[in-house]
Chain A
Amino acid sequence: GDSVTQMEGPVTLSEEAFLTINCTYTATGYPSLFWYVQYPGEGLQLLLKATKADDKGSNKGFEATYRKETTSFHLEKGSVQVSDSAVYFCALRPQGGKLIFGQGTELSVKP
C-alpha cells in the first residue's frame, strides 16, 4: 500500500543553519504531496504542497520539490530560526484516497 517515510528525529540545529528533512514515498499513480507543521500545543498547519512531478512548493522560506524519479519530497530551508522549532509531517494523498502521514520529524532550533 501507499506509505511515507521520514527521517527520524529529533533534529537539533543552531539558528541560521541549513535544514533538510528527508521524505520518501511509495504510491501508485500520481499522489499529491504535502508538508504540515505542528507547533507545540497546536494543530496542524499546511506548510506547502505539490500536486505533480517537478512542482516546487514553497512557503515561509521552506521549499520542497516533487521528485517522481526518486519518489522524494525533501523539505529544505536555508536559514532556520528558533521559531521554526516544531514537528514536521510529510504526507501524501493518492487520487481519491485518504491522507497518509509520515511519522513526523521533531525539529529543535537553538539560539
Chain B
Amino acid sequence: DTEVTQTPKHLVMGMTNKKSLKCEQHMGHRAMYWYKQKAKKPPELMFVYSYEKLSINESVPSRFSPECPNSSLLNLHLHALQPEDSALYLCASSQLPGTNTQYFGPGTRLTVL
C-alpha cells in the first residue's frame, strides 16, 4: 500500500482566516514533504520533515506553518494568506530522507478570497 491521504480535498478561506491542511501516511515512511503546485506547473517544494524534525524550509513565508505531530501525520497551518497563495497543496512521503521514491497524496485545492 502506497497511500498518502490528505484532507480536506477543497478549502476556501478568507485572508483573515486560520485553517489547517492535514496529511497522513501509514507506510512507516520517515520523511514527509509539502509542495505547492500552480496550474499547469510542476510542484514546488516547501518543507521537508525528516524523522519528525523540520529539515528543509524553502524560504516559505511565515504565514505557512508546518507541524509534524508524529511519524504518520503532517499538518500545514495557514494564517493571513494572500490570493496568490491559491494553489494545489500536495503532501508526499518517502521511506527515508534523500533517498527512495516519493509518494504523493491527492492534494488540497486551496482558494484564498
Contacts and interface: CB of A to CB of B under 8 A. Distances in A.
Nearest to A98: B45
**Pairs of residues from A and B, 7 with the lowest C-beta to C-beta distance, nearest first:** A101-B42, A96-B98, A44-B104, A43-B106, A43-B107, A43-B104, A43-B105
Interface string A38-49: 000011111001
Nearest to A90: B42
Interface range, A side? 20 to 34
A46 B101 contact: yes
A34 B98 contact: no
Interface string A58-78: 000000000000000000000
Given A95-B99, A96-B98, A103 B42 contact: yes
Contacts of A106: 40
A50 to B, nearest CB: 11
Contacts of A96: 98-99
B42 A95 contact: no
Interface in B47-98: 48, 56, 88, 90, 92, 98
B90 A44 contact: yes
